[in-house]
Amino acid sequence: MDARFTDEDEAFRREIAGWLAANLCGEFEIVKGRGGPGDEHALFAERHAFEKRLGDDGWIGVGWPKKVGGRGCSLTQQMIFHEEYARAGGPGRVGHIGEGLLGPTLIHFGSDEQKRRFLPRILSGEEIWCQGYSEPGAGSDLANVATRAELVGDEWVVNGQKVWTSGAETSDWCFVLCRSDFDAQPKHRGISYLLVPMRQAGVEIRPIAQMTGDSEFSEVFFSDARTAANNIVGEPGGGWAVAMGTLAFERGASTLGQQMRFQNELDEIILVAQNNGKSQDPLIRQRIAQAWMGLRIQRYHALRTLAGIAEAADPPPAAMISKLFWATWHRDLGKLAMDVMGAAAELARGEPYDLTGLQRMFLFSRSDTIYAGSNQIQRNILAERVLGLPREPR
């Protein structure tokens, strides 16, 4: 296994770093370090404009195949892209769900017509997507979805409720898991994967206030919402395989580059500790060292995974520990940040509820072990698919 970067990879690193230095300035100086977890509403219009700038120069969909308009970069280069983006203080991406989840799903499962209609507008940064999976009665167990879709003439008519829909308020489209066959058994059959426009009378969005002070997710109510008959990915009733494909993209390559963002957070914690004297506390020093080591483990694990993929074509089973490891590590980093800040952690900077980046990080990090598959669900997956233990009773 060779985990070193090639000359070509290093040249790619210089290219994206140079582009960011030349573009993340001037009118875009204010979006540096803004947006992202816990800060999703910040400067949305400006961040959307930056997304379009990325699209203009072909920096959206770097991992997508060239034949659909992407850059066709290797996984290693995708990681480099994300690393440099975070190193430069690139803003939270407003188009990450379209680029990271829906786009790869359409490339894999979509019709030619769907690829032509939807992919270019993700690549240009024009259209924003959200994910309509979870419902009040269906989270970890997605096969329980109860939102109904009926084909009436040349349209699907959708009724039901989604919840925890990130970015619903700012999205143009949602990919929605619906039940279209009400008698099918087992229950994961009969689910359809629909592409539904958000800006229509049948869609009501009710933001949910979060403890970060933001409301990046919402309840979404569909009341006779409509979408064209051909806006279905896969067969009617055959949406389960498509939905699982999207989840694999959500837990996979899209998280490879986040370590640089985590590094920025750890650097900030170390700076606070140095300034307020906590760096002299031996227990804090030990926890900082542990956090540093955990981050190195994540990086080397990512490199090992990439090298394994290059050699074996398929992700090695060990790749599946990533979500559980990073989510638990990051939740602990949030606690460390608060302990390093000490009493100051309990005070907002100003009115109303003006939190620092570390305070927001701590509060939002509580959700890391829930979304994209909770820790318990990740452990079930590892037990069954990697260790080959008996399946849990269903």
Ligand X SMILES: Cc1cc2nc3c(=O)[nH]c(=O)nc-3n(C[C@H](O)[C@H](O)[C@H](O)COP(=O)(O)OP(=O)(O)OC[C@H]3O[C@@H](n4cnc5c(N)ncnc54)[C@H](O)[C@@H]3O)c2cc1C
| Residues designated catalytic | 250
User: Shortest distance, CB of residue 378 to ligand X, whole angstroms?
Assistant: 9
The partner residues of 219 in beta bridges, in order of sequence, read 206
Q: Which stretch binds ligand X (CB under 6 A): 46-54, 127-135, 149-157, 328-336?
A: 127-135
Q: Which stretch binds ligand X (CB under 6 A): 14-22, 128-136, 248-256, 330-338?
A: 128-136
Which residue, 135 or 265, is less far from ligand X as judged by CB?
Answer: 135
Which residue's beta carbon is nearest to the bound ligand X?
A: 139
Query: Interface residues for ligand X in 82-101 (CB under 6 A)?
Result: none
Maximal CA-CA distance, the chain: 71
Residues in the interface with ligand X (CB under 6 A) total 19
User: Shortest distance, CB of residue 37 to ligand X, whole angstroms?
Assistant: 8
Supply 28's token pair: 């875009």
DSSP 270-290: HHHHHHHSGGG-HHHHHHHHH
Q: Which stretch binds ligand X (CB under 6 A): 56-64, 130-138, 277-285, 330-338?
A: 130-138
In the chain, the amino acid numbered 78 is Q
Query: Interface residues for ligand X in 344-383 (CB under 6 A)?
Result: 367, 370-371, 374, 376-377, 380
Of the candidates 192, 162, 196, 163, the one whose C-alpha atom is nearest the C-alpha of residue 178 is 192
Which residue, 159 or 374, is less far from ligand X as judged by CB?
Answer: 374
Site string for ligand X, 140-179 (x = CB under 6 A): x-----------------------xxx-------------
Which residue, 140 or 280, is less far from ligand X as judged by CB?
Answer: 140
Supply 135's token pair: 């419902």
Cα distance between residue 155 and residue 215, in whole Å? 32
Q: Contacting ligand X (CB under 6 A), which of 23, 76, 105, 131?
A: 131
User: Shortest distance, CB of residue 216 to ligand X, whole angstroms?
Assistant: 7
User: Shortest distance, CB of residue 387 to ligand X, whole angstroms?
Assistant: 15
Q: Is the peptide bond before 352 cis (omega within 30 degrees of 0)?
A: yes
Q: Contacting ligand X (CB under 6 A), which of 134, 227, 231, 258?
A: 134
User: Which positions ≥6 away from 279 have C-beta within 8 Å?
Assistant: 270, 273, 285, 288
User: Shortest distance, CB of residue 174 to ligand X, whole angstroms?
Assistant: 9
Which residue, 64 or 217, is less far from ligand X as judged by CB?
Answer: 217
Which residue, 298 or 367, is less far from ligand X as judged by CB?
Answer: 367
How distant, in Å, are the alpha carbons of 20, 49, 65, 70, 156 from that of 53? 11, 6, 20, 15, 35
Q: Is the peptide bond before 186 cis (omega within 30 degrees of 0)?
A: yes
Which residue, 134 or 231, is less far from ligand X as judged by CB?
Answer: 134
Query: Interface residues for ligand X in 217-256 (CB under 6 A)?
Result: 217
Q: Contacting ligand X (CB under 6 A), which of 28, 109, 118, 133?
A: 133
User: Shortest distance, CB of residue 325 to ligand X, whole angstroms?
Assistant: 16
- Catalogue the long-range contacts made by 298-307 (C-beta closer than 8 Å, 24 or more residues apart): 298/259, 298/262, 298/322, 298/325, 298/326, 298/329, 299/259, 300/3, 301/325, 302/79, 302/256, 302/259, 303/3, 304/1, 304/3, 305/256, 306/3, 306/75, 306/76, 306/79, 306/256, 307/1, 307/2, 307/3
Of the candidates 88, 74, 83, 73, the one whose C-alpha atom is nearest the C-alpha of residue 21 is 88
Q: Contacting ligand X (CB under 6 A), which of 72, 120, 139, 316?
A: 139
Of the candidates 111, 101, 103, the one whose C-alpha atom is nearest the C-alpha of residue 133 is 101
Supply 208's token pair: 């949910």
Cα distance between residue 210 and residue 217, in whole Å? 8
Which residue, 83 or 250, is less far from ligand X as judged by CB?
Answer: 250
Q: Which stretch binds ligand X (CB under 6 A): 129-137, 223-231, 267-275, 303-311?
A: 129-137
User: Shortest distance, CB of residue 88 to ligand X, whole angstroms?
Assistant: 25
User: Shortest distance, CB of residue 141 to ligand X, whole angstroms?
Assistant: 6
Which residue, 28 or 217, is less far from ligand X as judged by CB?
Answer: 217
Q: Compute, in degrees rounded to 10, the torsion defined by CA atoms 101, 314, 189, 158.
A: 10
Residues that bind ligand X (CB under 6 A): 130-134, 139-140, 164-166, 217, 367, 370-371, 374, 376-377, 380, 392
